[in-house]
Structure 1
Amino acid sequence: MKNLLITTIILLSSVTAFAAKDDILIADFEQSNYGSWFISGKAFGASPAHGALPGQMTVKGYLGDCLVNSFTEGDASTGRLISPPFTIKRDYINFLIGGGYHPDQTCIQLTIDDKPVKTATGMNMELLTWHTWDVSKHIDKTARIEIIDKHTGGWGHINIDHIYQSDKPKLTGENMYVAKAMANVKRFIPQVKNDPHRPVYHFASPAMWMNDINGPIHHDGWYHIFYQHNPYGDQWGHMHWGHARSRDLVNWQHLPIGLAPSLSKGEEHCFSGCTWLDEKGTPIIFYTSIGHELPEQWAAIGDENLLNWRKPKQNPFLEMSDHGDTFIKDWRDPFIFEHGDRTFMVLGGKLEPADGGEAAATIYEAENGSLLDWTYKGIIFRHPDKNLRSLECPNFFPLQDKHVMLDSPYGPVEYFVGDFNAQTYKFDATSKGLIDHSGDYYATNIMYGPKERCILLGWIRGFKPDQGWNGVMAIPRIMTIDKAGNIIQQPAAEMKQLRTEKQNRNLVQASDSSKTVMKKAGKTFEITTTLDPGSAEKCILQLCSNADGSDAMDIVYTPGKLTVAGTAVPLDLQKGEKIDLHIFVDRTVLEVFINNGKHVVTEVIYTDPNSNAVIFRSENGRAALRDFTLYQLKPADFSLSHYN
């Protein structure tokens, strides 16, 4: 018994010895002056700043009321702020940092024996984000913190706050920029979780901004998507590649951010692109790198799980000079396709007047299976509208016995169906139309899944700012071509798994009247029905409506057109002809598939969270809804395990 007691005491002592020690604050800058810190120059003023200084954009992300801000007298001022000496007693030093990206000029340094052993700089933004130094090999050494501003041009300032020693790093991972981005997103996840306007079965980033869907690929049983992502705000900027994967296109697992700009290489944004496998089966991301004098096309090579990416020394694999005398404005968004045993890439942009001046897609051919060597082959497609600003996000791919070109021309996404000649590198379009009649659906990308399904993905935009999130992915759509050369789109069948309660109305008739179809349909549902205009001059289906219909998502038929929340779709019906509707509502998102997917309209609409009725109206005649079925849809699962 005595031996057991001694053993227990020893074990308890060991646990206590290895318990995490308290953090040690170096400075939080909440006092009315800098205390015993040494100040030189004018940049830091005489005391910590209360947020932004005159002439500065809004500063965010600092703790408490004050921070170090070297914008005193603007970017032209310089100076240095040096801490009193302290002893390093913990494995890590964490701090918040913002301001300009100028290594060794706008920076914070840890110095030992008057020599810098650690340094960090800002990222050209006024949002302060966490940074971590591993100082475990410097334990018990005497050190100082130096905050330096000696840059006099743009972004010539630095913001610092809350410096402390800890046995816990604020950031972990090999790529500090990815870790920093994910840490900032994580800060805002609780804020957006209970937003009543945030869709619950449409994929969205965990928080902050998302736009174009990038690099979708079906790999080892997983559907992977990447997306344009600003982890530092809910508006466009600081473009990274977010990443997620799914087994079923409905429920998604958020993965670590795939790409972050390589600021040390002059890269400010990682714009849109695609993902492909080289001859060895290695996944490669192809994207447009922005921040250089002209756009460049870069690659990133992934591991077998598509989780870790490195940018090879061959970057850029394409640059403007590869076109000879041809200059392409807004040259971006690489997209790869195969034809026989050959591999091609298209990019979008705008030609110079001397070359025709059209918005156009250029084409390149891979020289070998590494997919890092490409040769420019000419202009594959010139847009027929010569006044078009540019051609964004060109997707060119085989479908059935044809080839399809999708483009996002700063308006509704278009499609062209036709034939590709691999000998002349030309695409001859024989039919065209709109993928979606609304500008709220934009920046498409495609991938092939099992059974060679052609899966269309797109970004839904138009949400209100300052919510901590912005943008979602549309419901995945399966694309086919009908005999007339029209693109047909159907929601992926996997969406049916979200169905819960089902309600039916075989027939709802209205004759110069209003009929409540359902009083409490909620805000997340799916409807299939047939609209029979009958003799009515106007019939209206109102979704998420209040009692009098003044606040609702309206679908209106008048002779010659169907108008979905203000977006008109030409629809000339013959006498007795009806309109098939397949509708998805997800709080603020409305997606309407018309006549079995021949037309689609996507809209972002804000209605009162308490408005949840479905109403049917007719004017000057009789109209009906036939075979009306409404399914309540449960939220999809979006795993955040990599952010926890």
Structure 2
Amino acid sequence: MIYKGLYHLFYQYNPKGAVWGNIVWAHSTSTDLVNWTPHEPAIYPSISSDINGCWSGSATILPDGKPAIFYTGINPQNQQVQNLAVPKDLSDPFLREWIKFPKNPLMAPTQANGLNASSFRDPTTAWLGPDKRWRLVIGSKRDRRGLAILYRSKDFHNWVKAKHPLHSANGTGMWECPDFFPVAVNSPYGVHTSVFGDEVKHVLKVSLDDTKHEYYTIGTYDIKKDKYIPDKGSVENDAGLRYDYGKFYASKTFFDSVKKRRILWGWINESSSVTDDTKKGWAGLQAIPRTLLLDKSGKQLIQWPVPEIEKLRQNKVNFANKPLNKGSVLKVPSVTATQADVEVSFKIKGLEKADEYNPIWADPQVVCTHLGASENGSVGPFGLLVLASNGLKEYTAVFFRIFKYQAKYVVLFCSDQSRSSLNQDNDKSNYGAFLDVDLVNNETLSLRSLIDHSIVESFGGKGKGSITARVYPTLAIGDGASLYAFNNGTQSVEIESLNAWSMKKAKIN
């Protein structure tokens, strides 16, 4: 959230170890979303209704500007209940101390309301309806049906469960970390969580506990019936639209009221083993914050790293109109390859010679796994080799392949981790997404990758798809790492432009 010009990030933290347990709300603040100052944990077990853990939740900025946090506490019976906390001193811009509402918990599973006490967590930011009632959603499930349980309140203290959930979907399992918010239809700006009407669509995002993937739908919110209706054609399961097709989970947005934008935070979990995590002394981190906008088509969201990250750029390298013939590997010189920001656009030739798309390829991750960066095709694979060692014993490939299908073209966007590290204990899964890009009318394809030692966050098609990888190379570290553009397709492509920057270090806690 933002309060008195300061950004506040609260996150799940174990002060006693690298792996999950002893969960508190750690707290850091920033003036720019790049450099962060740590504070003492904001919320930690201290009362009966959270004595066994303070789990995820959300902040709400009340109409008078005061912030409030709802969070899931674990009580002595290990039931999941919802608690309220507010700042102790509103004159402190750092909000270093939080006090808990004396009547906690304010929402709890009981026999009367039929809620599952082990599947009732992660309250959303609250929104205020035209009837002056507050609403929020809590993630849950009934058997295999995922539920967004709706609660209402007149005073933010006394909450009543609605008869019907805001939304549900069968076969999806537990919905963790739900997020429900409006996006403007014809505006480059984000909107406050309590905005309704024809000028916005609504987004419901859920994190699937069963698969550790997230998906979102875009739809309509009927405020009178308190029902969310996904648009026709929405896919409501693991194969639906995702913010990120790689290591990215438990995400949360907030409205930046100063810069009028909606910002997405996501958790990058590990690819290393628990043993390696324990040796490192830490596990998991936050992705670069991203802005979210509705695409012109109205069918998906566009996301992009916040522009503040560009203040870390230095020593720009750029070139243009470079051909990449079959088998080309072109080194990008003078870039600190372990800490870089790369933007490249490719001009594609010979589209009509693209390989045929097989309609049974429903899962892009499976296609990227079978057709990795070293598998030759016609138009592609082409893209970047990042965190690449000398002799290419290690590299992470981020690339495109293009297929023909019924007079159209299908764009496959992949991140290939199969050769990312010599450490065989790492998860080296490949990731993939299909991009809704019109190559017939615009034959350029863009890629941006943010590289940070063991993390590669990549954005394809100007933010129409993103893939985050967690790679931990053993050779491609320090001066042993390089950055390349490559093409393993038989058809040549052209680098229309490439801009790369070495990135300075941010001040992080």
TM over 0.5, shorter chain: yes
Kept in 2, the 8 Å contact 1:499–1:632? The answer is yes
Superposed displacement of residue 603, structure 1: 1.1
User: CA 1:301/1:398 → structure 2, altered by over 3 Å: closer, same or farther?
Assistant: same
For the aligned residues, what is the CA RMSD? 2.2
Distance 1:345 1:382, change over 3 A: closer
Name the SS of the counterpart of 1:413 in structure 2.
Answer: strand
Letter in 2 for 1:472: L
Find 1:563's aligned residue among 414, 418, 422. Answer: 414
Q: Distance in 1 between matches of 2:325 and 2:449?
A: 23
Aligned residues of 2:116 and 2:140 also touching (Cα < 8 A): no
1:340-387 C-alpha deviation (Å, 9 max, x unpaired): 4432110001024xxxx411101111221xx22111113434443x22
**SS of corresponding position for 2:481:** coil
The letter of the residue matching 2:21 is: G
Task: Choose the corresponding residue for 1:274, options 58, 82, 88.
Answer: 58
What corresponds to 1:389 in structure 2? 173
Change (3 A) 1:619 1:325: closer
AA aligned opposite 1:551: E
CA shift, 1:282, in A, is 3.9
Is the contact made by 1:438 and 1:603 (CA closer than 8 Å) also made in structure 2?
no
Q: Which residue of 2 aligns with 1:374?
A: 159
Residue in 2 aligned with 1:311? Answer: 100
Q: Which has the higher contact order (CA 8 A, sep 6+)?
A: 2
How many residue pairs were aligned?
Answer: 416
TM-score (norm 2): 0.77
Gaps of 5+ in 2: 185-199, 351-377, 404-411, 417-429
Partner of 2:87: 302
Are 1:413 and 2:198 counterparts?
no
Residue identity opposite 2:14 in structure 1: N
Distance in 2 of aligned mates of 1:326 and 1:231: 31
1:235-268 alpha-carbon deviations (Å, 9 max, x no partner): 1111100001111111111111111112766621
What residue is the counterpart of 1:257 in the other structure?
41
Query: Counterparts of 1:296 and 1:612 in 2: how far apart (Å)?
Result: 49
Q: Name the SS for the 1:334 alignment partner.
A: coil
Q: Which residue of 2 aligns with 1:287?
A: 71
Question: After superposition, what is the alpha-carbon deviation per residue over 1:1-26, rounded to whole angstroms, capped at 9, x for unaligned?
Answer: xxxxxxxxxxxxxxxxxxxxxxxxxx
* Separation in structure 2 between the aligned mates of residue 445 and residue 499 of structure 1, nearest angstrom: 26
Measured after TM superposition, the shift of residue 537 of structure 1 is 3.7
For residues 41-90 of structure 1, what are the alpha-carbon distances to aligned partners after superposition, in whole Å with 9 as ceiling and x for unaligned? xxxxxxxxxxxxxxxxxxxxxxxxxxxxxxxxxxxxxxxxxxxxxxxxxx
Task: From 131, 138, 152, give the equivalent of 1:347.
Answer: 138
**2:413 paired with 1:605:** no
Cα distance in structure 1, aligned partners of 2:68 and 2:168: 29
The CA distance in 1 between the partners of 2:386 and 2:112, in whole Å, is 52
Give % identity. 26
| Matches of 2:349 and 2:398, distance apart in 1 | 16
Letter in 2 for 1:544: L
Question: How far does the alpha carbon of each residue in 1:533-571 deviate from its partner, in whole angstroms, 9 at most, with x for none?
Answer: 434443332112123333111013223412113211124
1:238 aligned residue (8, 12, 22): 22
In the alignment, which of 360, 378, 395 is matched to residue 147 of structure 2? Answer: 360
- How far apart are the structure 1 equivalents of 2:400 and 2:204? 31
Compared with structure 1, are the counterparts of its residues 484 and 537 closer, same or farther at alpha carbon in structure 2 (3 Å cutoff)?
A: closer
Bigger Cα displacement from structure 2, 477-486 vs 228-237: 477-486
CA distance in 1, matches of 2:456, 2:13: 23
Q: Kindly provide the amino acid, as one letter, of the partner of residue 407 in structure 1.
A: V
1:470 aligns to what SS in structure 2?
Answer: coil
How many angstroms does 1:281 deviate by? 4.5
What is the alpha-carbon distance in structure 1 between the residues aligned to residue 65 and residue 439 of structure 2? 53
State how 1:565-584 maps to structure 2 within 5 Å.
565=416, 566-571=430-435, 574=439, 577-584=443-450
CA contact 1:590–1:602 (8 Å) conserved in 2:
yes
> Secondary structure, in 3 states, of the residue corresponding to 1:603?
strand
Runs of at least 5 residues in structure 1 that lack an aligned partner in the other structure: 1-216
Q: Judging changes above 3 Å, is the alpha-carbon distance between structure 1 residues 517 and 573 closer, same or farther for their aligned structure 2 residues? A: farther
AA partner of residue 334 (structure 1) = P
Sort the Cα spacing of 1:553 and 1:468 in 2 relative to 1 into closer, same or farther, 3 A. Answer: same
Moved more, 236-245 or 332-341: 332-341
> Higher Cα Rg: structure 1 or 2?
1
Pick the aligned partner of 2:311 from 489, 497, 501. 497
Please give the alpha-carbon distance, in whole angstroms, between the structure 1 residues aligned to 2:111 and 2:58: 20
Q: Residues 236 and 325 of structure 1: is their aligned pair in 2 closer, same or farther, counting only changes over 3 Å?
A: closer
Q: Does 1:546 align with 2:373?
A: no
The corresponding residue for 2:203 is: 404
- Post-superposition offset of 1:274: 1.0
Give the counterpart of 1:473 among 276, 280, 286: 286
Instruction: State the shift of 1:291 in Å.
Output: 3.9
Amino acid of the structure 2 residue aligned with 1:358: R
**Superposed CA offset, 1:285-322 (max 9, x none):** 21011143321111222121321112222011111128
Matched, 1:590 2:456: yes
Q: Does 1:445 align with 2:252?
A: yes
Q: Which amino acid aligns with 1:623?
A: V
